[in-house]
Each structure stands twice: as C-alpha cells, then as structure tokens.
Structure 1
Amino acid sequence: MLQYVDLPLISSKYKCLNCFLFLFPIFISIHLGSFAGFTWSKKSVTSTMEKSWMLWTFVKRWLLALASWSWSLCRICLLPLIVTFHLYGGIMLLILIFVSIAGILYKFQDVLLYFPEQPSSSRLYVPMPTGIPHENIFIKTKDGVLLNLILLRYTGDNAAYSPTIIYFHGNAGNIGHRLPNALLMLVNLKVNLILVDYRGYGKSEGEASEEGLYLDSEAVLDYVMTRSDLDKTKIFLFGRSLGGAVAIHLASENSHRISAIVVENTFLSIPYMASTLFSFFPMRYLPLWCYKNKFLSYRKISQCRMPSLFISGLSDQLIPPVMMKQLYELSPARTKRLAIFPDGTHNDTWQCQGYFTALEQFIKEVIKSHSPEEMAKTSSNVTII
C-alpha cells in the first residue's frame, strides 16, 4: 500500500539542489545494492585477504540493507517522485521513478501468484476427513516454519506395502479443499496420501515464496522417510498446477528417494506464464532476475529420470495445455506417459472419465518395473489418451 509523503516548500533558488541532495544518496544506494549481489572472483587465500573478505562481507550486508531500505523508501515516495519530476524534470528522477515502479511490481508478484485466502475462510478452517483413518500432523522445516499435513491411510489388503503419494496442491485454498480428490485416490489407487499445506496456507505458519515452498517439500519428504509404517521404496510425488512445479523441483533434487512423479496441468516456468498471460512486447524480453518467483520446471525436468506421468486437460483455460506436452517431451525418463483428457479443465481434470484408470495403470507399471525383467520390457514414449 502506498503512503504519501508531502514535499516541503523550497525556495526557488535551492529547489533543484535540495531535491538532488535528497535523492542522490537513495539513487547511489540502489545501484550499490544492485551490484553487491554479484559474485566476486576468488583470489589467492592469505590471512590478509581473509580479513579483507570478512570486511567486505560486512560492508556488503550493510549496503544490501541500505539498498533495501532505499528501495522501500522509493516505493513509498513514488507519488512525490512523480510530482517532483513533473515540476522539475531530470534523468535521475525518471530513473528513480522506474526503479520504484519495478520495486512495487517485484513485491506485487507474490500477490499475483499465491492465493492462500481464497476462499476467504481458507486460513481459518481446514476441512478434515470423517470416517477415514487419518492423522493431522505438524512438522517443522529447516528454517523453523511449522507446516500442517494430513495423512490418509489405506487399510485394505497388503496395506504395509501400499505406495505413498505426497500431494502438492495448487496456488489457492488449503489441503481440506482437496479431500474429495484425495479420497477418490485413496479408494481407487489403494495408496496412502500425504496432503501438504505450504507455508502461509491453511494452518501452516509463515509466508509463501518459491524458496519457502522448496523447503516445505524437502521437510515433508524427510518426514516420510522417518515413518517406519510407510514403504520408503514406493514414494510417488503428485503435483497439480503450482504443485507440479514443487513436485518437479523435489524430484530433481531427490532422484534416489523418489519412485515416480505425476504432474497435472502445470507450467514450464513463471516467466513463460507471464509472457503468455501478458503477451505485450516488454514481458517477453524481461530477464530472469526481474522475476521474484521463477519455478523453472522446464530446466529441472531434465534431472527427473524416474518414471513420470504427465496429465493434461485440453480444456484448461489458465495454463496452456501445450506446456504439459513440452514438459513431457523434455523429460529424459525411460518410462514416461502423457495422459490427455479433451474435456479436462484446470482444476477438474480429475473428474474426467478414465482419469483414475490412467493413474492406476501408471502406478502398477512403476511397481512392476522394480524387477529387472520388467524393466527390460519397459518401452518409452507411450501416450495414453
């Protein structure tokens, strides 16, 4: 929210000079802060250099803090900057205005991506399953954030050997809103499910961010590995929309612990989504550092060699279905499948006929492929329609 600061009246003789003296330190701080993040080349290590490096680290932190403060001040003073530029002009003021607008847009990206309060009760009330064996769990991430999970237990035949699916949901609501989908997975697929509320969602603490969501996913996987009652050799990741990007990242960093991944109606990256949704000229050429959240799935999928299922609803009006096909083509997995549902929308593809059949077939194929003779029979590039 912008705060408006009144500019003091200045005598005509010193107007421009005072404006310059007031704004110049801010401008310098911003530029110092911009360049302070660059990695400096390593030099020979001596005791003198080590001391100099420690001093520079301290100075760099101070400059970054000063730059952050100056950037915040510029955003707060955007209206006065515009008024001053209108009255007196000047390249420096114009640059400061652009920097202020960039700062506002940079901060505003979270508002455009994360919707933990839609619907409005999502942070207050998380529906729980009734009549189904389940656990309401709280775990801590490496940075101390408390997360809320729901574990749905399969209690049928051979329950001890059932696969476990870690379920990463989309960018709105909470895990309780995914229970109808999850319960059908439980019944049709005969699996355990762990539903994850990211930081800032549902009853989880904190505030959502790309790095934060990655830490959340790591914490959940670490927790699953501590459970003696879950088969650690059959861990599947499922992610829909934003959750697909989280699942791909987690799989790319933990290929030795993940049996397979399933992603549904997800995107190549946030920059690709931005250029699709806002197709006017400048968006297509913005460098990556302009994006606070990137979620570069198109890069990370190259590290996911485990069996992969890509589910695409061709009636998705939010994320272009072609992105799912491109992720499928970029995947290096020997066993990869593309399940296409012509009537599938962004959130409701799971209600299409044949959806759970495709999932069940894939899971059975992955479990069978653990035997050497079955792995030799596995063919790649097979499409399920």
Structure 2
Amino acid sequence: MPSPLRRVRRWAVLLLVAYLGIVVVFWFIERQLVFRPSSAEEAWLKPEDDRTQDVQFDSADGTKIFGRWIPPESPQHGAVLVANGNGGNLTHRGRLAADLRRALGAGVLLFDYPGYGKSAGKPTEEGCYAAGDAAYRWLTDEARVAPNRIILCGESLGGGTAVELATKREHRALVLIYTFTSLPAAAKHHFPFLPVHTLMRTRFDNLAKIGRCPRPVFLVHGTADSVVPFDHSEQLSAAANEPKCFVRLEGAGHSVLPGESYTPALVNFLHAHAP
C-alpha cells in the first residue's frame, strides 16, 4: 500500500498535468473565445435607419471589408466610425448607429472585422486594426469627411481598434463604451486561475496606449457589467489625457445601452470641446 506521502505526490502530479492540459487547451482555442462572429448566413438584420447604405473597401492586405454607412445631416456634422464588440456582426449595431446619428447629426460608419458578416478572412487583432484603418480611409477618401470631424467609437472589444486608430490617425474625439484595459486583464476576471497575462497572444492593450491619444476622450460603462468589470473604464479614464468625461451608468450591464442614457452627455462634451 503506497505511503501517504506517495499518494500526495501522485495527486500533485495528476493535478499539475490536468492544469497544464487546461492551459494548452486555452492556448489553442484562444481566438475562438475572443472572436465570436456571426456570418451573414447566420444573421443579417435590416438597418434601423432607412438612409443606410451598403459599402465595401479593402484593408491593406487586400481583405474585403463590408460596411454600412448612414450619411450625415450635412458635411460639417462629420462622422462616427464605430468599431464593434466581439460578437455578432455589424447588423447587430443598427440601434447604436441610429442613436448616434439621431443625437449627433453625424454620419455613422459600421464595419465588420475579417470573418464577420460579409467580410472576408479570419479575425485577428492585427486584422481588426487593419479593417479599422481601411474604414477610416474610406471615410476620408470616399465619403470626404474631414479627419478632424471623425469621432472614433469603440464598443467593448472594438475599443481596442478605436484606441489604436486614435494613436495614429487624426480625429475629433475618442468614445469608448464598456471597454477593457487589456484583453488579458479582462480574461483574468473570467479565468483567474490561468496565466493569461503571459499566455494570451491577443492583447488589445488599451491602457498602455490611451495616454498617447491626443484628442478628447469620452467613456461610458455600466456598474453591473459582468463581462468587462466597471473598474476597467475607471483605469482608462485615469490614464487618459484631458479633456475627458466618464459617464457612470448605475445598474447597467454589458448590453446595448439606450442612447438616451449617455448621448446627451456626449453631445454636451463634444460641444464643450469643439475642434
């Protein structure tokens, strides 16, 4: 009969092997956990604004990117470039686009990352950045929106694309809706037992970049968000340059936010810090 010490060692080895197995599985399925696209065949909703137009453009590597564009009331109203969260596709952001168009009078451009909706390719962090840059170039080159009239808006995962753009491209303001400090930090909230900070290849390190965003920053986050903890936006707000505004939504979770819950504050903020 094995001694108690030998049994303890055996169990320790078994637990270690099981833990390493979990780590390896997580490493292999990371992108499936991060990116949850819906193809156009799976879900393709009608736009909520009847002025919506379908558009296409190519990212730097030639990947076909699909978008939807709601023109502005007038050229001086500029445009909002919306980077989506990790689930669904751009058609699930029809309400967000309609709310922003209604509140700001600005045009709104939605676009899908590679592998989402009707866009070609497969989603990666670099692919999201490239798609965002292609969308920005479409706004300036095709829609003729002045760069200093473009508002960069990121929803959840899309905050990473918006922040990346804000460090490189001229813009009017940066808007972040329940965005995380970094993807590994958000993953740590859900998988506290995994070494995600060293394990994850997909980073979207917004906290490290936001201090390099030179224009006004507007953040909104619900206190009951169970997907991205509320304190992530608190940390981003603290690290952002002035001028900035942080709207705290009591009891709101990680879902489509009613426009009236934050757009009045956004309108006031933009008016106070006109380009």
Q: Same fold (TM over 0.5)?
A: yes
In the alignment, structure 2 segments of 5+ residues that lack a partner are 1-16
Aligned-pair CA distance for 1:270: 1.5
Q: What is the match of residue 213 of structure 2? A: 304
Task: Find the residue that maps to 2:215 and give its secondary structure.
Answer: coil
Mapped contact 1:141–1:216 kept (Cα < 8 A): yes
Mapped contact 1:167–1:193 kept (Cα < 8 A): yes
The residue type equivalent to 1:171 in the other structure is: N
Q: What is the match of residue 96 of structure 2? A: 181
1:218–1:340: structure 2 CA closer, same or farther, 3 Å change rule? same
1:228–1:170: structure 2 CA closer, same or farther, 3 Å change rule? closer
Mapped contact 1:171–1:242 kept (Cα < 8 A): yes
1:131–1:275: structure 2 CA closer, same or farther, 3 Å change rule? closer
Is 1:258 paired with 2:206? no
1:223–1:320: structure 2 CA closer, same or farther, 3 Å change rule? same
Task: Find the residue that maps to 2:147 and give its secondary structure.
Answer: coil
The residue type equivalent to 2:178 in the other structure is: N
RMSD: 2.3
Mapped contact 1:139–1:148 kept (Cα < 8 A): yes
TM-score scaled to structure 1, two decimals?
0.63
Is 1:217 paired with 2:217? no
Q: What is the match of residue 151 of structure 1? A: 69
Query: Which is strand-richer, 1 or 2?
Result: 2
Q: What is the match of residue 15 of structure 1? A: none
1:353–1:165: structure 2 CA closer, same or farther, 3 Å change rule? closer
More moved, 227-236 vs 189-198 = 227-236
Q: Give, in whole Å, the separation in 2 of the partners of 1:196 and 1:113.
A: 18
The residue type equivalent to 1:215 in the other structure is: A
Q: Deviations over 1:333-361 (max 9, x none)?
A: 2211111110321113x217542101211
Q: What is the match of residue 84 of structure 2? A: 169
Q: Give, in whole Å, the separation in 2 of the partners of 1:101 and 1:314.
A: 31
Q: What is the match of residue 359 of structure 1? A: 266
Q: Give, in whole Å, the separation in 2 of the partners of 1:173 and 1:228.
A: 26
Number of positions where the alignment pairs a residue of Structure 1 with one of Structure 2: 260
Q: What is the match of residue 244 of structure 2? A: 336
1:144–1:102: structure 2 CA closer, same or farther, 3 Å change rule? farther
More moved, 228-237 vs 293-302 = 228-237
The residue type equivalent to 2:71 in the other structure is: R
Equivalent residues in 2 for 1:75-90 (5 A)? none
Mapped contact 2:48–2:98 kept (Cα < 8 A): no
Aligned-pair CA distance for 1:228: 5.3
Q: What is the match of residue 327 of structure 1? A: 236
Q: Percent identity at matched positions?
A: 25
Q: Give, in whole Å, the separation in 1 of the partners of 2:203 and 2:271.
A: 34
Aligned-pair CA distance for 1:229: 3.7
Q: Give, in whole Å, the separation in 2 of the partners of 1:301 and 1:131.
A: 32
* Structure 1 segments (4+ residues) deviating >6 Å: 96-101
Task: Find the residue that maps to 1:233 and give its secondary structure.
Answer: helix
Mapped contact 1:123–1:201 kept (Cα < 8 A): no
Task: Find the residue that maps to 2:80 and give its secondary structure.
Answer: strand
Q: Deviations over 1:123-173 (max 9, x none)?
A: 444223366223211111111110001010133xxx121121001111111
The residue type equivalent to 2:238 in the other structure is: E
Task: Find the residue that maps to 2:88 and give its secondary structure.
Answer: coil
**Structure showing greater relative contact order (alpha-carbon pairs closer than 8 Å, 6 or more residues apart):** 2
